[in-house]
Structure 1
Amino acid sequence: MQSPFIVELTEQNFRETLEGSMNVPVLVHFWASAQPESAQVIPELQMLAQQYSGAFTLALLDCEQQPALASQFGVQALPTIALFINGQAVDGMGGPQPIDSITAMLQKHLPSQDEMQLKQANNLLQQGEHAQALAILQTLSEELKNRGDVKLATADCLLETKQFELAKTLLSTIPLEYQDNYYKGLIAKLDLHLQAADSPELQRLEQERAANPDNLELVCELAVQYNQVGRDEEALELLWNILKTNLGAQDGEVKKVFMDILSALGQGNALAGKYRRQLYSILY
């Protein structure tokens, strides 16, 4: 099976492979084609390596083809499984073993599925893929979500996806020990948004709209401005209050602005989902 997570050990690559255990655990399976029972579990090990998507490297050593290499490891019986972490053997099993037993041994040393997902989310965050990172962070267990570092990462994603109210609420719950420079940077970003969200231009539009509540062109303009500074719920609520009694208001312009804001928020946005459902309830 061709996979970046599976390697056939040879004299040429064994040192590099074991050095790789400084970063990712390496599971070595010692076997020989002359002993079929030692090869029976290999397909299941390969599937396991694929399922874990790089959480460990599976290294297969055919002791019949590589006797000198096998002797360096001091293998006494086949099959044998050995787990290497930081260049050292930390666990192992001798004799034929069911895949469940091997998996249980691995799980004692590997990060949990949640931890692996958190690592993936952090990598996406570093790459600027905030929406994708947020989608993963929201699937984590409640215990992990409540960790200070996870809250900070989530707040970062919320700010970058313009979900400012949710970010503000989350940042208010950050424990004191996590209020570091990262936290201060997020607070500064939120403060900048709050200042922009109450600009003189917005205040002027709000005053004009208050004086002319039936001017739908003004309503649309104000909703667009709200959306541009991340006050999406106010924008949608403003438009919805008109649409729920008149879908064709302002020759369809109110509905168009409403739909444009929903599209900009994206399919996975909870606020957009709420207002889509409300719209569908009167359409169908």
Structure 2
Amino acid sequence: VSDFLVGLLMFFQIMLIDGCWLFGDLMCSLYFLLDYVITCSSIGTMVLISVDRYVAVCDPLQYPSRVTEGAKLLGSLCWVGSALCHGLMLRGNVQNPGRVSSCAGECAVVIDHAAGIANFFLTFVGPVAVIVVLYVRVFAVAASQARAVRSRVAAAAAAAARGSVKVTVNKSEMKAARTLGVVVVVFLLCLCPYYCVTLSADDAVVSASSAAFVICLYYLNSCINPLIYAFFYPWFRKCTKMIVTLQILSPGSSEANVL
């Protein structure tokens, strides 16, 4: 939902005709408020996915009670926390819209340097640290489980069977490492330029037109995230292929085996 709403925010960027904002100063402030709240919720969802995978691998017996039951609560807290945090950070711009606009038709907000640093740690440093730590832990546990499986198979199976299991386990380990690398690298590439701009001055003035490139790059992270997670699942790729090639329109397509 958060990534989809980020896509809706792009309509406001598209409406910046020749750098001119047509919706007024109040809508400009509300646009930036929604921007921060929704993108922060999207990043928070990435962290929650990392927690979900960590519990599923490291403590699977507790997964139904610890994650399944608490997923809605954690998702709601993510949205509420994002709204409260960024509402406080941008309340001055909402109360006095247009106070930093230098001319008619400009959409800009000012972010206090201290608030910018706090936002930097909340939506960039913190999520990256949590994601890396949890995925490294998941990778370590998966590798230890793979070694245990290999040792048991090696004791009971023939040499050919030992070789086939080794290949399968190595592929699983590489897939986990590849997922971690792609998620973190894309996150860094999409968000680094934005924070370089907003933290470059004592009080950063962020304009929807002059900062359009870094803002769109920031949004791009929410576009890529669903693809990173979804396309690592073979069944999802098969379903997408069926839709794109119109096989889904053929009789009996609902009975196709995609698992």
- What TM-score does the superposition give when structure 2 sets the normalisation length? 0.25
Higher RCO (Cα < 8 Å, 6 or more apart): 2
Higher strand share: 1
Higher helix share goes to which structure?
A: 2
Normalised TM-score (structure 1):
0.23
